Amino acid sequence: MYYSGMPKLWNETIETHRDAVRRAVLDAAARLVAGHGLAGVTMSAVAQNAGIGRATLYKYFPDVESILAAWHERQIESHLTELTRVRDRTEGAWEQARGGAAGLRVPFPPR
């Protein structure tokens, strides 16, 4: 019997690999921004810092702008996750606001 689809395990392995490469690219972009500012983020620098070839990088992202947009989205998701954690472990609106401000490193007056 001929089976035309890929086995589920294979698909999961490929997806795991793709996620790992994407994380490596975004981590590399973050390091470059921290070390050199936005101007230091080039396709060549990201590929080298992520440990992948430029051709591979272009399979994931067409340009620097799309890398920075994905990195920014990841940062926002991380902040929202932290704010949700603070909200869920804190009782009372005032303490939730204080915890949220601390999570965002925003000065908040004492009560």
**CB-hemisphere CA count at 13 Å for 76?**
6
* CATH number for the domain running over 8-103: 1.10.357.10
Residue among 85, 111, 88 at smallest CA distance from 103: 85
pLDDT at residue 110 greater than cutoff 80 = no
Burial class (CB in 10 A: 0-12, 13-18, 19+), 101: middle
> Quick one: which H or E segment has residue 6?
none
pLDDT in tens, 29-54: 999 999 999 999 999 999 999 999 99
